Amino acid sequence: MAANGNGERGQHWEAQLRKGCLEMAILSSLWMGRLYGLEILRCLADKSNLEVAEGTVYPILARLRAEGLLQAEWVEAEAGHPRKYYWLTGPGRRRAQEMAEAWSNFSASLTILVEPVLKGNKS
């Protein structure tokens, strides 16, 4: 029962962690160029193993656009239907860099802290 409770709490914590990283992950996915919504979702799943509820990403994209961090445009496809492509604005690139630096420093310092825990698990 206690183990089960720990498991649930662990899953909840992991979900919160993923949620907190989502904005940074979306901005980072657009660093290399324009993507449309489904491409962003696939990029998150392929490159970061960050599988999120699909309905979560679109409202965040709308907000990031409203905040001026992203721009968007409908582009006609050669085959099929038009798609809404997003790209980073100047402030969006700056925000992505700030977040990436903060994340990098944070994770590096925590990695040092958890190293003995990981070694303990392996022994």
Which residues bind to other proteins, rule: CB under 8 A? 19, 22-23, 36-38, 52-56, 58-60, 62-63, 66-67, 74, 80-84
Q: Which is nearer to other proteins, 82 or 111 (CB)?
A: 82
Residue 95 and residue 27 in contact, taking contact as beta carbons nearer than 8 Å: yes
First-to-final CA distance of the chain: 26
Other CB atoms within 10 Å distance of the CB of residue 24: 16
Q: Where are the beta strands (DSSP E) in the chain?
A: 35-36, 70-75, 83-88
Point out which residues pair with 88 in neighbouring strands: 70
Minimum CB separation from other proteins for residue 67, in Å? 6
Minimum CB separation from other proteins for residue 19, in Å? 5
Minimum CB separation from other proteins for residue 101, in Å? 20
Q: Which is nearer to other proteins, 14 or 115 (CB)?
A: 14
